[in-house]
Chains A and B, each alone.
Chain A
């Protein structure tokens, strides 16, 4: 069963933690335990005993059963066939398991992650010459993986040497050799359509670049107010029911990434089913292709074994890096990093390690940072540009953002989309709170908006945020002494802030038009609310009572604009903005006449 020389026996079983006697096993090595052949990973050594965390339930395993090291660390298969698939936390193909084993996941199954029978049409890179020296990451050829993704077959990062053979264009299985390489030591290596990579080792690249453009998500509060850059790191913390998952799904649906990897880490099974059932029918607004042609899922639902939950994040990020190395912009969504951290805690607790905060082990912060640092905009080994943007949700107990996972995450990430229970309770979705959210990518985004959409983005954004901050201040006064204490100008500020919330920030994921806003539409809506605010403020200065402004029918029209006009109907939005200017002008004229008359 194993090519490892040593065989051992099980000494003890305590939940997912199995102690074995197996001399020579290394930390991180994959171990097969028991008659069922469960797979686990060595996480601690003591003398000739090793502690194994098993990726599957250990029920029925008894002391004395055999154990064997497999000789390699937890690795993933990287090659065509990943896109559109659903894999478990250690990359077992769930679709195939479902077909072969039924509705429930049996134990001890280790089918290969990628289909070995399927033929892929390989087109070799025409610039390659036999006899030339190839460096790691060299482009060998391509396979059309989905209608959307051209899968670039690259020389694995740990290979280089003289190209001896390269297969002609044709159909190949994954295990078929597509070429041969002679390394410096004179040994010959077969090249295949797929490679393996250990998940806990970041894949190498030539160099990092600073992020250069925002990731467009089509979500107004994100793109317009708290943008994230491609290659950035973001967190979405929020109590239950605040809409973390919907935010993640919206990003998976509408962002302008090439590849989306969705890691369901300790969350609900139905949420993954939702993606599996709806994505094939949904169209990517940027390319018009089915969303499933760029998406793959890693599923460790909350009832699946905890240890594989810890692995699932690494499996996801390694696959993300692999597509990044092909020159793609990849978005990885991890829902939820708190469950990942809890898996760490559970294992450390069973090992009797000293807990520090809330039972979490002392290495929580460094592990979290190491995962997030695998995101970035990079130049690949072959000189292409690619990026991994990592967005993790955080599920703080009781919604308390001072708990360890949220607090440590906040120190690492660059964009923070904080979800608020109060907003969610009022059904203000997405419930991203503009007071505690932040983005470190404003300067990068401002450049982009100026270049691609319109020159005033940064000023308008700042103005709208200032108005929202003013709203919080004034609301406090109202709560103390009542609305009558405010001047007309102040009441108009409150009304305008309400308009920003309702006409711009609130965005319905369920409304077919509102669910995605192009940058142009976002820009025009932002302009619209500020036009209304400014128009009204000017009139109030002239003495027009605020009551009159609040009854203007254009306010209701402005609130409906986001659902009325699609992302391409920008002309209509421009017209609406013209009408708003005119409407205010009319009130001004009328009022001037009225005033003249009185004098």
Chain B
């Protein structure tokens, strides 16, 4: 660590500090900035040239006086200390204790940027996680090591859904609990408190590592936060052999902070002013989930993305969807009709579901039941549209059956209590209750064995 301080800052704006007359500083190194009140701020070098560096200041550049700002270069990248003591603690976006307790002391320190997992070292995620929520387990099953975001909108119950998943998630045949890493970027005080109380009430608090950057904390810190949180998650998963569930909320605030800094740097904007590298930047975060060969632990990622104006084509949900392995989309319409969780079935998808369900994992009919429910519900929604145009009286009996299926499916299958924890078998049996509203001939996506075994009309119906 260099003790020399430089008082050669030339400009400061938007969280960035340009410093001249410095020695050759490494790209990505940390800097300490001392202001005129002798307060310390943390920074990182994001552009380095002979004699000149650009520093991103995590606490922001507000209130800096260039004449009375002293900069020291630490000759090391942004790192955090890692130990099992992380659990039960609360940190800020750059890994400093936020709970008034002493910092973590450990010989294990890691660069928060990590290094890319070698694709040849990964193993494919295949193990079903039961969340107890029918619309997820039945139709968009979550698999251990998957990255599955919740696409939501303002005022929708994404936090309640995320908390319910954290509370209920478990493996069907194992008694091991998940370690939880909770990363909050730009969330309100109320939301942060909601999660803390949830974790406390369900008794998992000792298993949770929290990284909190509130809405009124400096936005630049949000850029480091998910990387710091995932470094902790990687430690728990791949050093401590834990199965880790990481909740990142809200990635939209993260991307907005990225745009803020990119604009200040003068980067060429692409869509909606977001920098062209938003995709790679998000991927660096999301791709840290997964499983590694010969390691016991895993990282399952549940990012929350609020869609600005409920627009799924907005760059943040759009690019997220291209990286993650599916998405759970929440619907304002279902929410307004009082259905919880308001999971919008048609655009929701779990890409890894196919490998985590079926005879060996859930039940043999599961893949076909899911496909059949989707097909019927898609058709039923078309019929509902039609009915709203031409009137329900104009519909054939066949069409009316679709309408009553849609209502029953939403009221009984999608809708469930916040404390209701349905086993996958309960979910599948419920699915057959609904499928049995149709005669066997109408169910072409399930096979004859399924029909004989599970259709309510029985073998001779």
Q: Mark B44-57, 1 if CB is under 8 A from A, else 0.
A: 00011110000000
- How many inter-chain residue pairs (CB < 8 Å) link A and B? 217
Say yes or no for B190: interface residue by CB 8 A criterion.
Answer: no
Q: Which of A1-22 contact B (CB under 8 A)?
A: 11-15, 19
Tell me which residues across on chain A come within 8 A of B119, comparing CB atoms: 86, 94, 264, 269, 272-273, 276, 299, 301
Is A59 a contact partner of B120 (Cβ separation < 8 A)?
A: no
**Complex Cα distance A395/B290, Å?**
23
Is B347 a contact partner of A240 (Cβ separation < 8 A)?
A: no
Say yes or no for B315: interface residue by CB 8 A criterion.
Answer: yes
Is A426 a contact partner of B444 (Cβ separation < 8 A)?
A: no
Q: Which of A301-339 contact B (CB under 8 A)?
A: 301-306, 339
Distance in Å: Cβ of A291 to nearest Cβ of chain B: 16
Size of chain B's interface in residues, with CB distance under 8 A? 81
Tell me which residues across on chain B come within 8 A of A301, comparing CB atoms: 116, 119, 283, 287
Say yes or no for A545: interface residue by CB 8 A criterion.
Answer: no
Say yes or no for B125: interface residue by CB 8 A criterion.
Answer: yes
Say yes or no for B118: interface residue by CB 8 A criterion.
Answer: yes
Say yes or no for B386: interface residue by CB 8 A criterion.
Answer: yes
**Complex Cα distance A342/B275, Å?**
11
Of A384-392, A437-445, A481-489, the stretch lying at the interface with chain B is A481-489
Contact A346/B288 with A61-B26, A304-B116 known, Cβ cut-off 8 Å: no
Distance in Å: Cβ of A302 to nearest Cβ of chain B: 3
Is B27 a contact partner of A11 (Cβ separation < 8 A)?
A: no
Distance in Å: Cβ of B257 to nearest Cβ of chain A: 17
Is B27 a contact partner of A13 (Cβ separation < 8 A)?
A: yes
Q: Mark A393-410, 1 if CB is under 8 A from B, else 0.
A: 001011110000000000
Tell me which residues across on chain B come within 8 A of A478, comparing CB atoms: 386
Say yes or no for A559: interface residue by CB 8 A criterion.
Answer: yes
Say yes or no for A95: interface residue by CB 8 A criterion.
Answer: yes
Main secondary structure of the interface of B (DSSP, over half): mixed
**Complex Cα distance A594/B233, Å?**
75
Say yes or no for B215: interface residue by CB 8 A criterion.
Answer: no
Is B394 a contact partner of A12 (Cβ separation < 8 A)?
A: no
Say yes or no for B132: interface residue by CB 8 A criterion.
Answer: no
Distance in Å: Cβ of B402 to nearest Cβ of chain A: 13
Say yes or no for A57: interface residue by CB 8 A criterion.
Answer: yes
Choose from B47, B283, B390 the contact partner of A13 (Cβ within 8 Å): B47
Of A76-84, A96-104, A149-157, A211-219, the stretch lying at the interface with chain B is A96-104
Say yes or no for B424: interface residue by CB 8 A criterion.
Answer: no
Choose from A15, A64, A107, A277 the contact partner of B24 (Cβ within 8 Å): A64
Say yes or no for A595: interface residue by CB 8 A criterion.
Answer: no
Closest partner residue, chain A, to B292 (CB atom): A103
Q: Which of B390-406 contact A (CB under 8 A)?
A: 390-391, 394-396, 399
Is B271 a contact partner of A358 (Cβ separation < 8 A)?
A: yes
**Complex Cα distance A57/B346, Å?**
39
Q: Mark B258-298, 1 if CB is under 8 A from A, else 0.
A: 00000000011111000111011001101110101101000
Contact A269/B287 with A59-B28, A103-B118, A241-B327 known, Cβ cut-off 8 Å: yes
Tell me which residues across on chain A come within 8 A of B27, comparing CB atoms: 13, 58-62
Closest partner residue, chain B, to A354 (CB atom): B268
Choose from B50, B111, B288, B447 the contact partner of A12 (Cβ within 8 Å): B50
Closest partner residue, chain B, to A343 (CB atom): B280
Is B346 a contact partner of A426 (Cβ separation < 8 A)?
A: yes
Q: Which of A43-84 contact B (CB under 8 A)?
A: 57-65
Closest partner residue, chain A, to B311 (CB atom): A398
Choose from A65, A269, A355 the contact partner of B117 (Cβ within 8 Å): A269
Of B193-201, B318-326, B415-423, the stretch lying at the interface with chain A is B318-326
Is A482 a contact partner of B318 (Cβ separation < 8 A)?
A: no
Say yes or no for A470: interface residue by CB 8 A criterion.
Answer: no
Closest partner residue, chain B, to A345 (CB atom): B276
Of B83-91, B167-175, B206-214, B367-375, the stretch lying at the interface with chain A is B367-375
**Complex Cα distance A494/B286, Å?**
44
**Complex Cα distance A105/B115, Å?**
6
Is A104 a contact partner of B117 (Cβ separation < 8 A)?
A: yes
Distance in Å: Cβ of A283 to nearest Cβ of chain B: 19
**Complex Cα distance A424/B111, Å?**
40
**Complex Cα distance A400/B313, Å?**
9
Tell me which residues across on chain B come within 8 A of A29, comparing CB atoms: none
Say yes or no for A560: interface residue by CB 8 A criterion.
Answer: yes
Closest partner residue, chain A, to B367 (CB atom): A510
Tell me which residues across on chain A come within 8 A of B3, comparing CB atoms: none
Say yes or no for A425: interface residue by CB 8 A criterion.
Answer: yes
Distance in Å: Cβ of B9 to nearest Cβ of chain A: 18
Say yes or no for B18: interface residue by CB 8 A criterion.
Answer: no
Is A482 a contact partner of B315 (Cβ separation < 8 A)?
A: no
**Complex Cα distance A306/B277, Å?**
9
Choose from A15, A241, A482 the contact partner of B321 (Cβ within 8 Å): A241
Greatest chain B CB density within 10 A among A57, A352, A425, A479 is at A425
**Complex Cα distance A346/B277, Å?**
6
Is B378 a contact partner of A241 (Cβ separation < 8 A)?
A: no
Is A266 a contact partner of B50 (Cβ separation < 8 A)?
A: no
Closest partner residue, chain A, to B238 (CB atom): A103
Tell me which residues across on chain B come within 8 A of A459, comparing CB atoms: none
Tell me which residues across on chain A come within 8 A of B314, comparing CB atoms: 398
Say yes or no for A165: interface residue by CB 8 A criterion.
Answer: no
Say yes or no for B1: interface residue by CB 8 A criterion.
Answer: no
Contact A269/B122 with A14-B47, A61-B27 known, Cβ cut-off 8 Å: yes
Tell me which residues across on chain A come within 8 A of B347, comparing CB atoms: 241, 421, 425
Distance in Å: Cβ of B230 to nearest Cβ of chain A: 11
**Complex Cα distance A86/B295, Å?**
21
Say yes or no for B389: interface residue by CB 8 A criterion.
Answer: yes
**Complex Cα distance A426/B378, Å?**
5
Greatest chain B CB density within 10 A among A95, A104, A240, A304 is at A240
Choose from A13, A106, A399 the contact partner of B48 (Cβ within 8 Å): A13
**Complex Cα distance A276/B347, Å?**
29
Tell me which residues across on chain B come within 8 A of A12, comparing CB atoms: 47-50
Tell me which residues across on chain B come within 8 A of A426, comparing CB atoms: 346, 374-375, 378-379
Say yes or no for B163: interface residue by CB 8 A criterion.
Answer: no
Distance in Å: Cβ of B340 to nearest Cβ of chain A: 22
**Complex Cα distance A266/B276, Å?**
14
Distance in Å: Cβ of A483 to nearest Cβ of chain B: 7
Say yes or no for B31: interface residue by CB 8 A criterion.
Answer: no
Is B26 a contact partner of A427 (Cβ separation < 8 A)?
A: no
Is B124 a contact partner of A240 (Cβ separation < 8 A)?
A: no
Say yes or no for A480: interface residue by CB 8 A criterion.
Answer: yes
Distance in Å: Cβ of A235 to nearest Cβ of chain B: 16
**CB pairs A–B below 8 angstroms (12 shown):** A14-B47, A15-B47, A59-B77, A103-B295, A104-B115, A104-B116, A269-B290, A302-B286, A303-B116, A398-B313, A480-B389, A482-B394
Which residues of B are at the interface with A, using a C-beta cutoff of 8 A?
A: 24-29, 47-50, 77, 111, 113-125, 145, 238, 267-271, 275-277, 279-280, 283-284, 286-288, 290, 292-293, 295, 313-315, 318-319, 321-323, 325-327, 346-347, 349, 351-352, 354, 367, 371, 374-375, 378-379, 385-386, 389-391, 394-396, 399, 441, 444, 447
Which residues of A are at the interface with B, using a C-beta cutoff of 8 A?
A: 11-15, 19, 57-65, 86, 94-95, 97-98, 101-107, 239-241, 264, 266, 268-270, 272-274, 276-277, 299, 301-306, 339, 342, 345-346, 349, 352, 355, 358-359, 395, 397-400, 421, 424-427, 478-484, 502, 510, 553, 556, 559-560, 563
Closest 6 CB pairs of A and B: A398-B313, A302-B283, A482-B390, A12-B49, A303-B287, A359-B270
Q: A103-B295, A264-B119, A342-B276 are in contact. List 15 more A-B contacts (CB 8 A).
A: A61-B27, A104-B114, A240-B321, A270-B352, A273-B122, A277-B124, A301-B283, A301-B287, A302-B323, A339-B279, A355-B268, A400-B313, A421-B347, A479-B386, A556-B441
